[in-house]
């Protein structure tokens, strides 16, 4: 039985146990009289009035203990024999008493944290004058002598967390724009956060009503979602909980081909899970595509003019799309139940952005109403927030129409998948010089850009989309109205 | 039915379990009289300094004089009464009383306005046991560690909500028909309608819209039970804000449910919901979870039933306002500090279960016709379940048993009280020892208890000047528990070392609810530790946990001279 006192020279305080609280497993004689006898030392006359409270060894097999609760709080006056702290060993919870009168100056190891046997868990000062000194000591202690007493949970460093907790609209549902909300985390999410030292304030929830789910914490902590059957239960009436579905799929082993030898399996991050779920969900929507060539010479000229004022091409395209949508509200609508049109009162343009191995769609709200400069400014903010993973749910899942632009990569034409909950998405290719012949047979060189819109055919028909694209094309070809 | 809730005050069910003996004390003259009339040769007794048996016999005679009014008529056939006994309410209490009354030769009728079986069978113990059976199996299947230790391999366990709900419903119907058939077979008349007392020995009953029938009986037992208590400010919609009545139908399994109250009901539902995949938040007004339990048991239970599960809790708070989910908003719960009444927090969850106790269902009973005033809805009774009127006098021929009197709100307590009443009206005095009535909470593992908790025993010991000792054994040392890989749990015995009297037994562990009866029978029959420790238990069984418990108690040598109850029989 190693004495906890050997490790530190300033000790003169330790803990004892109430024999009445001892489980029968431990003969009650061993504690107070033998091991926990205070051993004051003469050389410590100066500092002996500040005493450390140690993690006691509550059983012969105990190597570390967890603080269940502090009975006393900092600043409380203690008298000899009073319970100060409740410690959980590998066997039971025990009250730990003080051997000295004094003031609990500082708590070094907080509730719920663990410390090895013999480590200082609190500091006791004899008088009020010594509290400051004791606190300083506590500060140095928490860094040095109590290795497993963790410092306050650090905000996850941006680089080290693999999974940005932001997510594409997994729950398009009712996140009303109520401004700032307090952080809501489920009981298990809180437990996991404590266990993995994740600060819930730094996590963006993807659960219902924007709450933080256990999966969000696991993603933030960079651990695999627990895939044991302890975890999510296979509920037959599955609600939109992505991992649950994953479990139910994996429970049918025959449908999964054996892995190629040597391959590595990297589980999805929360964001990737949400993307995957949305993509699979999109299969249930009958979509069709209509392409349209748009001449961009006038737009390019305008862009050159307004670029110094901070306007981006993305903002120009978003504005143009929004203005076209004003005239074609059905393209801004969505089909929620397969039986009706849901017309949106706002035109919110979501724009797909690739970020850290994920995909997110920050939303320019009321893009038809805001002017170009405000939109550009807003977009800059959104992108910064997205990079810092600070987008609020309504900033990435309130879109009514999506814009995806791969033109900067030289892509001339591509096909986008319609995100669930929206009626249409526009895929924009690169603008390229093209030889065109006019009605009189004269050839000329124009910049042409191919746009391709994917839409939900339950509500948007071919003619609707064609008319919308015609309007969009006119706006882009006569872009003067964009700056109004 | 909910109208009466607003009048009554919430009292957690567990409180009754232990306060119940107190009201009986002032009316019975010898302060600590505890005996069981069924077995006069085995009087249990926790007297002060008097000698034991003579005093009890003496006082029991005294009691029979006091009830002579009701005993006089016994044996003479009723001249003008329709029945010997009418019971209002066909729950477990009324059923137990009816069966015993028939056995005693009484012409018996039972009046039921709803369904036979009452709360226990239809909306309480019975369907909840079906759900808990499912949750227990789910837990085993989900515990990979547990399965591995047994060498079993199970792929992910799943469940069908409707199938589980049907199981609970089918069980309730089956038990209900068993109950109905058992009464019909014995010739108990089942009268349908709400019963009202219209005068002494006279009851009317009938359905709404039909003419009332008036029946008379020599004796009447009120056994109308209780309904879930819903505190003010809480809006129950039956979908997202629910009581146990709704929860037992298991119409949904919310992702996150708040349970208001951490007594038996709340604890059992937390076991069910977490096993089915929900996360749970407890809201408890007192400073500790599970306030009714022995503190040591509660602490251990918290380590096993709460901490490792997907459960968090708020203690020392009242839920002042709970709004159901609507208009795309979640269920919101406003919490205030229980002491300072300051607003503390607002929770947003998917559902809330109100488990703040039960309120007596006594409105419309016509008690005003016989000058009886309810206290917080409960019908006041003496220790023999005789109803006391507003002036403090006994109402002749009227008794009240079960949740409606609030002494001990447990189904089997109601039944025991009913049997006690039948014993009295058939000429045998009988006082039920409530301290011998066991209680159980069917979590995984189970919790059970009988008698006093350790603090209660120590308080009593200090007042009456005797010594209290505590013995404990662990399930970890039990062969059968280890074979099941369920070694978590303890049994705790609280006793008097001077005479070997058992004051209380508390068990937390595998099948605790079935194990408690050895202890509760010992208390009911007055068996002392020095005698019961020689009783033999089959090996290997869980009952050896109690065997070891009794053997580990240290009864002083002076008490050991006591001769064993039964003479040895040669075989």
What pLDDT score was predicted for residue A85? 86
pTM: 0.57
Catalytic residue among A289, A380, A457, A474: A457
Statement: residue B10 has pLDDT above 60:
no
- As a whole number of Å, the end-to-end CA separation of chain B is 60
Residue-level pLDDT at A265: 78
Mean pLDDT of all residues belonging to chain B: 85
Query: What pLDDT score does A239 carry?
Result: 41
Are A251 and B350 in contact (CB < 8 Å)?
Answer: no
Q: Say yes or no to pLDDT of B437 above 60.
A: yes
- Chain A residues with CB under 8 Å of a chain B CB are 23-25, 93, 173-174, 176, 184, 186-188, 190-191, 207-209, 211, 214, 228-230, 232-237, 239, 241, 247-248, 250-251
Q: Which of A405, A376, A253, A407 is nearest to A310 (CA)?
A: A376
Lowest-confidence segment of A63-72, A422-431, A443-452, B30-39 by average pLDDT: B30-39
pLDDT of B477 strictly over 60: yes
Helix (H) or strand (E) holding A85: strand A83-88
DSSP symbols for A212-253? BPHHHHHHHHT-PPP-STTSS-EESS--S-HHHHHHHHHT-G
At A412, give phi and psi (nearest 5°): -90, -30
**Nearest CA-CA partner of A361 in A382, A345, A375, A381:** A382
pLDDT at B301 over 50: yes
Residues contacting residue B25 through CB under 8 Å, at least 6 positions apart? B31
Query: 3-class SS at B327?
Result: coil
User: In terms of pLDDT, which residue wins out, A484 or A316?
Assistant: A316
Most confident region among A198-202, B50-54, B374-378 by mean pLDDT: B374-378
A446/B535 Cα distance (integer angstroms): 104
Q: What is the mean pLDDT of residues A345-362?
A: 86
Res B558 pLDDT > 80: no
The C-alpha of B261 sits at a distance from chain A's nearest C-alpha, in angstroms, of 17
Asked if the Cβ–Cβ distance from A93 to B159 is below 8 Å, we say: no
- The reply to whether residue A187 touches residue B143, judged by beta carbons under 8 angstroms, is no
A196 is catalytic: no
Contact A174 B328 (CB under 8 A): yes
B525 pLDDT above the threshold of 90: yes
Contact list in B for residue A190 (CB cut-off 8 A) is: 312
pLDDT digits (tens, 9 = 90+) for A444-458: 899 999 999 999 999
Has residue B165 got a pLDDT over 90? Answer: yes
Q: Which two tokens stand for residue A233?
A: 């239960």
Cβ of B310 and A174 within 8 Å? no
Q: Please tell me the least confidently modeled range out of A251-265, B9-23, B395-409.
A: B9-23
- The whole-angstrom distance between A93's CA and the closest CA on chain B is 9
Does the beta-carbon distance from A230 to B144 stay under 8 Å? yes
| pLDDT in the model for residue A198 | 85
Which residues contact residue A172 at a Cβ distance below 8 angstroms, ignoring those fewer than 6 apart?
A397, A420, A421
pLDDT for A140: 66
Q: Is the pLDDT of residue B43 over 60?
A: no
Q: What is the mean pLDDT of residues B369-385?
A: 94
Residue in chain B nearest A68 by alpha carbon? B303
By mean pLDDT, which of A201-210, B134-143, B337-346 is the weakest? Answer: A201-210
Task: Mark yes or no for CB contact A236/B279 under 8 Å.
Answer: no
**Residues in chain B whose beta carbon is closer than 8 A to a beta carbon of chain A?**
138, 141-144, 154-161, 253, 255-256, 276-277, 279-281, 299, 303, 310-312, 328-330, 348, 350, 472, 474
DSSP class of residue B127?
A: H
Q: Is the pLDDT of residue B235 over 80?
A: yes
Contact B159 A209 (CB under 8 A): no
Task: Find the closest chain B residue to A174 by CA distance.
Answer: B328
For the cut 80, the answer to whether the pLDDT of residue B507 exceeds it is: yes
Q: Is the pLDDT at B528 greater than 70, yes or no?
A: yes
Indicate the Cα dihedral angle A352, A354, A358, A359, nearest 10°. 0
- Residue A438: its pLDDT value, please? 83
* pLDDT over 90, % of chain A: 23
H or E stretch at B258: strand B256-260
CB contact under 8 A, B157 and A24: no
Residue B403 CB neighbour total at 10 angstroms: 34
- Average pLDDT for chain A: 74
Nearest to A228 by CA among B143, B76, B353, B479: B143
Please list the residues that pair with A448 across neighbouring strands: A295, A432
Q: How far apart are CA A249 and CA A245, in angstroms?
A: 6
Q: What is the pLDDT averaged over residues A33-53?
A: 52
* Structure tokens, B289: 């979870």
- Evaluate whether A429 touches A306 at the Cβ level (below 8 Å): no
pLDDT band, very low/low/confident/very high, at A210 (cuts 50, 70, 90): confident
Model-level ipTM above the cut of 0.85: no
pLDDT over 70 (residue A178): no
pLDDT per position as a tens digit, A93-110: 677 777 778 888 888 888
Evaluate if residue B44 carries a pLDDT over 90.
no
What is the per-residue pLDDT for A67?
A: 84
| Of the listed ranges A306-310, A345-349, B106-110, B445-449, the one predicted with least confidence | A306-310
Q: What local confidence, expressed as pLDDT, does residue A91 receive?
A: 57
Query: B570 or A74: which carries more pLDDT confidence?
Result: A74
Cβ contacts of B310 on chain A, cutoff 8 Å:
186-188, 191, 214
A298, A320 contact by CB (below 8 A): no
**Residue B113's pLDDT is what?**
87
Pairing, β A64-70 against β A83-88: antiparallel
> Of A187, A236, A248, which is closest to B310 when you measure between CB atoms?
A187
Q: What integer is the mean pLDDT of A38-45?
A: 44
Q: Tens digits of per-residue pLDDT, A222-237?
A: 776 544 443 333 333 4
Chains A, B: CB pairs < 8 Å: 80
pLDDT over 70 percentage in chain A: 71
Q: Which residues in chain B have their CB less than 8 angstroms from residue A236's CB?
A: 158-161
Contacts of B276 in chain A (CB under 8 A): 233, 235
């Amino acid at each position: 039985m190693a004495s906890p006192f050997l490790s530190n020279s300033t000790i003169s305080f330790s803990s004892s146990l109430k024999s009445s609280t001892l489980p029968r497993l431990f003969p009650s004689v061993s504690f107070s009289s033998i091991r926990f006898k205070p051993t004051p030392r003469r050389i410590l006359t100066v500092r002996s009035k500040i005493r450390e409270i140690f993690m006691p060894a509550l059983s012969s097999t105990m190597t570390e203990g967890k603080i269940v609760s502090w009975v006393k709080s900092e600043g409380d006056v203690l008298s000899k024999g009073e319970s100060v702290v409740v410690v959980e060993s590998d066997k039971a919870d025990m009250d730990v008493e003080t051997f000295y009168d004094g003031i609990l100056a500082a708590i070094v190891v907080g509730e719920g944290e663990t410390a090895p046997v013999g480590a200082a868990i609190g500091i006791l000062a004899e008088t009020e004058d010594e509290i400051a000194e004791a606190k300083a000591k506590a500060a140095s202690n928490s860094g040095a002598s109590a290795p497993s007493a963790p410092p306050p949970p650090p905000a996850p460093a941006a680089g080290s967390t693999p999974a940005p907790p932001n997510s594409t609209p997994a729950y398009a549902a009712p996140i009303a724009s109520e401004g700032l909300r307090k952080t809501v985390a489920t009981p298990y999410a809180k437990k996991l956060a404590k266990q993995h030292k994740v600060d819930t304030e730094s996590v963006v929830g993807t659960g219902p009503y924007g709450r933080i789910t256990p999966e969000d914490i696991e993603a933030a902590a960079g651990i695999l979602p627990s895939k044991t059957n302890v975890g999510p239960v296979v509920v037959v009436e599955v609600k939109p909980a992505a991992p649950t579905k994953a479990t139910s799929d994996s429970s049918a082993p025959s449908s999964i081909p054996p892995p190629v030898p040597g391959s590595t399996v990297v589980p999805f991050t929360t964001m990737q899970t949400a993307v995957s779920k949305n993509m699979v969900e999109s299969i249930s929507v009958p979509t069709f595509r209509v392409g349209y060539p748009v001449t961009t010479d006038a737009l390019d000229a305008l862009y050159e003019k307004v670029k110094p004022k901070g306007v981006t091409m993305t903002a120009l395209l978003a504005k143009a799309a929004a203005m076209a949508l004003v005239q074609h509200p059905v393209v801004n609508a969505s089909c929620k139940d397969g039986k009706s049109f849901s017309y949106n009162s706002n035109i919110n343009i979501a724009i797909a952005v690739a970020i850290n191995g994920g995909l997110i769609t920050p939303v320019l709200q009321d893009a038809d109403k805001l002017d170009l400069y405000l939109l550009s400014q807003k977009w800059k903010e959104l992108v910064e927030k997205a990079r810092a993973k600070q987008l609020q749910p309504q900033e990435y899942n309130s879109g009514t129409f999506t814009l995806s632009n791969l033109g900067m990569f030289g892509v001339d034409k591509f096909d986008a998948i319609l995100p669930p909950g929206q009626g249409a998405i526009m895929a924009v290719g690169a603008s390229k010089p093209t030889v065109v012949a006019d009605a009189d047979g004269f050839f000329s060189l124009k910049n042409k850009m191919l746009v391709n819109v994917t839409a939900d055919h339950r509500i948007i028909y071919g003619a609707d989309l064609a008319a919308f694209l015609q309007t969009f094309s006119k706006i882009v070809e006569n872009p003067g109205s964009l700056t109004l | 039915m909910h109208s009466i809730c607003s009048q009554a005050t919430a009292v957690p069910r567990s409180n009754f379990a232990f306060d119940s003996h107190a009201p009986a004390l002032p009316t019975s003259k010898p302060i600590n009289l505890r005996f069981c009339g069924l077995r006069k040769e085995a009087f249990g007794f926790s007297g002060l300094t008097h000698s034991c048996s003579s005093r009890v016999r003496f006082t029991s005679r005294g009691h029979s004089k006091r009830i002579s009014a009701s005993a006089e008529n016994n044996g003479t056939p009723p001249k003008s009464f329709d029945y010997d006994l009418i019971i209002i309410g066909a729950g477990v209490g009324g059923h137990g009383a009816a069966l015993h009354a028939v056995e005693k030769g009484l012409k018996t009728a039972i009046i039921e306005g709803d369904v036979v079986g009452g709360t226990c069978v239809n909306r309480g113990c019975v369907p909840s046991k079906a759900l808990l059976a499912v949750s227990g199996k789910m837990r085993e299947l989900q515990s990979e560690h547990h399965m591995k230790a047994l060498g079993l391999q199970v792929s992910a366990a799943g469940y069908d909500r409707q199938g589980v709900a049907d199981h609970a419903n089918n069980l309730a119907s089956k038990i209900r028909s068993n109950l109905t058939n058992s009464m019909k077979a014995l010739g108990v008349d089942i009268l349908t309608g709400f019963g009202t007392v219209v005068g002494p020995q006279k009851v009317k009953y009938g359905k709404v819209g039909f003419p009332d029938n008036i029946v008379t009986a020599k004796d009447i037992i009120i056994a109308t039970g209780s309904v879930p208590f819903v505190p003010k400010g809480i809006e129950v919609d039956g979908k997202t804000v629910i009581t146990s009545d709704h929860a037992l139908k298991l119409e949904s399994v919310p992702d996150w449910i708040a349970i208001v109250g951490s007594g038996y009901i709340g604890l059992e539902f937390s076991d069910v919901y977490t096993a089915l995949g929900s996360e749970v938040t407890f809201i408890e007004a007192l400073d500790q979870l599970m306030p009714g339990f022995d503190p040591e048991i509660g602490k251990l239970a918290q380590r096993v039933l709460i901490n490792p599960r997907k459960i968090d809790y708020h203690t020392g708070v009242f839920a002042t306002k709970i709004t159901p989910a609507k208009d795309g908003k979640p269920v919101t719960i406003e919490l205030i500090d229980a002491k300072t009444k300051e607003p503390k927090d607002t929770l947003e969850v998917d559902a809330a279960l109100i488990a703040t106790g039960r309120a007596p269902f006594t409105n419309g009973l016509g008690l005003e016709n016989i000058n009886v005033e309810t206290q917080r809805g409960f019908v006041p009774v003496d220790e023999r379940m005789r109803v006391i009127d507003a002036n403090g006098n006994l109402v002749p021929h009227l008794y009240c048993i079960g949740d409606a009197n609030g002494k001990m709100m447990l189904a089997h307590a109601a039944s025991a009280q009913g049997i006690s009443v039948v014993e009295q009206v058939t000429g045998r005095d009988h006082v039920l020892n409530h301290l011998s009535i066991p209680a159980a909470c069917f979590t995984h593992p189970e919790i059970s208890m009988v008698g006093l908790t350790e603090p209660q025993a120590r308080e009593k010991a200090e007042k009456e000047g005797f010594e209290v000792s505590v013995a404990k054994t662990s399930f970890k040392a039990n062969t059968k528990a280890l074979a099941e890989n369920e070694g978590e749990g303890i049994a705790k015995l609280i006793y008097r070392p001077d005479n070997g009297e058992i004051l209380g037994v508390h068990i937390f562990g595998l099948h605790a609810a079935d194990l408690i009866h050895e202890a509760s029978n010992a208390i009911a029959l007055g068996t002392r530790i020095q005698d019961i420790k020689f009783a033999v238990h089959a090996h290997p069984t869980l009952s050896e946990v109690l065997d070891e418990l009794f053997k580990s108690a240290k009864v002083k040598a002076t008490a050991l001279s006591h001769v064993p109850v039964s003479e040895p029989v040669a075989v």
